[in-house]
Structures are given as C-alpha cells and as structure tokens.
C-alpha cells in the first residue's frame, strides 16, 4: 500500500476533495445545478458520521469495524416490545461476542479454566456469587490474576464456568480456592483443544460458542450478565479518520487500512444495509 494509504491509517489529512457532480434539471435533461443544491448534496455526503475503529492485538492479529452513526432522535419501543426484536437480538449477540473477543485477545489469554460443581446447582444467582467469592480468594494470593468468564448451563440444568486465563496456572491454589467456596467441586486447566493454531483465537472460539449458546437457549436468567472479566484489561482501540475522497467506499477504505497494518486480510463481514461491517486479519 502506498504512502497515502499509510497516512490514512494514521488518521492524517490527505488530498482535497473532488468537485461535486452536476445535477439534472426537473425535466430530466442535464443542466447547470443549483449551486446551493450542489453544495448541500456534497456536504451531506462527506459529512456523514462514520465511526471506524481499529484494533491491533500484536502478533499480526488485527481487526477493524465501521458503522454509520445515525442522528440521535426518535422514540424507542419498550423493552421486548420492538417489532424488530429478532434483529435487535442478533445485534446484541454480535456486540457481546465482539467485546468478549476483544477482551480475550487484549489480555493475551491462552489457557481455559473450567469450574464445575458436584451438586446440581441450577440457581444462577448462587453460581454467580460462588464465582465472585472464588475470584476474591484467588486475588488475595495473586492480585494481578486476569480472567474472562462465561457461564454454561448443562442439559440437566446445572451451571458451570469457563474462564480464559493467561499462561500456566497454580492448579493447587485454584482447586483449593474453588473447593473452599463450593465444597465438592473440581477445576480443569488446559490449553484449548482446537485445529486453530493460535491459542488466543481458539479461546475466542470456545468462549464465543458458550456465549452464543446462552442466547440460543433463551437463558433470560442471565439478563445482561453473560460474561465477567477482570477490571483494567486495556483494549488497544484506535479511531480512524475517514477522508472525504473515500466517503463513497467506506468498506474498501477500512479493509485497505487493515491490510496495511496487519499485512493480511482474512474474514470480512458486511451488513446488508451497507451501513456497518467488520474485517479481521485471520480467517
């Protein structure tokens, strides 16, 4: 990619904008456009509010997302009463999985810790309280311990927890801490078993699967608490400025910026409306 696109990726100002197109007369013939109309149409086009954000997690793992920011206004339906409930549910799943992915990649997590009960614990409030007590005990010994946790409910209704953690773990400490909280229970720590070579991406796949399962199973009991994470995980997010000359092809601009940064372009997703999309450096 040339110097100009590298400057774009850094948010620098580029070339002047191209001249506005000629308009048509009301009778359908080409003619001189009303200067005020030309100016207004052009300004509307280049001043669309696009949000473009890039993420560089290191090791060649990068992603970029773009979306049109709609003007604020209009009424909102009561919760659960929208006539586009399914659409909103899908967006909620995407947002949750996206943030979970960014937490795992930003933390450089590479091991999977699973906390299970011997008893059939079906009360999610109890399971949540047990996890909180477990984390407090671990952090008394390991103040810098980092985790990203997702609950899963088994077919029998019992809850257990999956946590993304960093590096080799003190298994004895974790087991003793969990059993102190729940009595009879067990833990398991291992690298994620996956065909995906990159362990961070494998963890993203595992936890994303459990997170999506929570939505699909209709676990309304989870409410907004579909995952937990350590405070202070820094997500490397950078806002990228869209230059006027690229206002008509935001997806291509974003993909070019990603490829310039990561050196590769993997998966690309675009919304049918053309108003949002996402791309990453991995397949």
Residue range 68-96: mean pLDDT, rounded = 67
pTM, to two decimals: 0.78
pLDDT at 5 over 80: no
- Which positions ≥6 away from 221 have C-beta within 8 Å? 124
Helix (H, G, I), strand (E, B) or coil at 130: helix
Minimum mean pLDDT among 33-47, 61-75, 113-127, 226-240: which range?
33-47
Q: What is the pLDDT of residues 147-198, one digit of tens each?
A: 999 999 888 889 999 999 999 999 999 999 999 999 999 999 999 888 888 9
Q: State the residue for tokens 């920011």.
A: 69
The model's confidence at residue 11, banded by pLDDT at 50, 70 and 90, is very low
The band of 91, judged by pLDDT with boundaries at 50, 70 and 90, is confident
Between CA 232 and CA 239 the distance in angstroms is: 20
Q: For residue 155, what pLDDT is reported?
A: 80
pLDDT at site 213 = 78
Residue 47 has pLDDT above 60, yes or no: no
pLDDT surpasses 90 at 25? no
Task: Say which CATH class 105-229 falls into.
Answer: alpha beta
**Strands 268-270, 276-280: pairing kind:** antiparallel
32-41, 84-93, 95-104, 261-270: least confidently modelled range: 32-41
Higher pLDDT, 8 or 105: 105
Angle between helices 124-141 and 171-182 (to 10 degrees): 140
Lowest-confidence region among 87-96, 155-164, 210-219: 210-219
Polymer length of the chain: 283
Q: Which of 30-44, 74-88, 116-130, 153-167 comes out lowest in average pLDDT?
A: 30-44
Helix (H, G, I), strand (E, B) or coil at 104: helix
Overall average pLDDT of the 17-21 stretch:
41
Q: Where are the domains of the chain?
A: 105-229
Res 94: pLDDT: 83
Residue 214 has a pLDDT of: 66
| DSSP of 245-274 | GGTT-HHHHHHHHHHHHHS----EEE-TTS
């Amino acid at each position: 990619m040339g110097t100009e696109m590298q400057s774009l990726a850094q948010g620098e100002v580029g070339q002047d904008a191209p001249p506005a197109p000629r308009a048509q007369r009301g009778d359908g013939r080409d003619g001189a456009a009303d200067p005020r109309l030309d100016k207004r149409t052009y300004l509307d086009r280049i001043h669309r509010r696009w949000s473009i954000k890039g993420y560089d997690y290191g090791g060649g793992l990068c992603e970029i997302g773009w979306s049109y920011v709609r003007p604020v206004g209009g009424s909102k339906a009561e919760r659960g009463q929208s006539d586009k409930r399914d659409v909103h549910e899908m967006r909620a799943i995407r947002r949750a999985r996206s943030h979970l992915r960014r937490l795992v990649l930003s933390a450089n997590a590479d091991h999977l810790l699973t906390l299970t009960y011997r008893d059939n614990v079906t009360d999610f409030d109890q399971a949540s309280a047990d996890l909180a007590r477990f984390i407090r005990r671990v952090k008394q010994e390991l103040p810098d311990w980092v985790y990203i946790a997702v609950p899963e409910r088994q077919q029998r209704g019992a809850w257990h927890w999956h946590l993304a953690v960093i590096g080799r773990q003190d298994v004895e400490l974790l087991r003793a801490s969990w059993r102190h909280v729940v009595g009879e229970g067990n833990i398991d720590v291992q690298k994620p078993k996956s065909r995906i070579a990159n362990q961070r991406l494998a963890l993203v796949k595992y936890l994303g699967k459990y997170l999506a399962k929570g939505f699909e199973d209709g676990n309304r009991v989870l409410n907004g608490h579909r995952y937990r994470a350590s405070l202070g995980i820094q997500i490397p997010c950078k806002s990228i400025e869209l230059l006027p000359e690229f206002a008509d092809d935001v997806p291509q601009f974003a993909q070019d910026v990603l490829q310039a940064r990561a050196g590769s372009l993997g998966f690309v997703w675009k919304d049918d409306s053309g108003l949002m999309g996402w791309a990453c450096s991995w397949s």
